Amino acid sequence: MSDLIVVAFDDEASAFDMRAELARMQKDYLLEMEDVVVVTRSGDDKVQLHQVANLTALGAVSGGFWGAFVGLLFLNPFLGAVLGAGAGAVSGNLYDIGIDDEFMRDLGASLKPGGAAVFFLTRKITADKVIDRMAQFHAKGHVLQTSLSEDVEAGLRAALDPSRP
């Protein structure tokens, strides 16, 4: 079962720093993430999702490769690459993995202007070690939402923002 954790910050830099730290923790096998997204809200109230993988671009590249391959079979690799890239871009744009984009946009709209939030979906987590590594963000962020157990959530809240229960 996966757990969703959302941590909000008053500035974008801290959110991107946390995303980088989460990637380092994954590399150290402290957690296994399915998805991680930074959501920012600009001064003009525009909510933007910063996803690690651009599925539209990946679909276009993959589609272009397979289209060219099929085009070689029918002696027109250029046309096959163009059609494959177009089809791949469309399918990549329509295919969504991980955290629901609409949910992130809705929650992102509740951030204060200039603020950001990190949404991450984990399959496995070594809670005590992850919480220790989160201490570097002490008093910078606060937990908006989790699906963690109560004791793990309390530890995370204490590590990030001791003024909140």
Q: Work out the burial of residue 6: count CB atoms within 10 Å of its CB; fewer than 13 is exposed, 13-18 middle, 19 or more buried.
A: buried
Note the pLDDT of residue 94. 45
What end-to-end distance do the CA atoms of the chain give, in Å?
26
d(CA 139, CA 39): 19
Q: Domain ranges for the chain, please list them.
A: 3-52+113-160
> Under CATH, which architecture does the 3-52+113-160 domain have?
2-Layer Sandwich (3.30)
- For residue 51, give the nearest of 67, 34, 64 by alpha carbon: 34
Work out the number of other CB atoms within 10 angstroms of the CB of residue 25: 20
pLDDT tens, residue by residue, 77-107: 665 555 555 555 555 444 455 688 888 899 8
Residue whose token pair is 């949404």: 119
pLDDT at 58 over 90: no
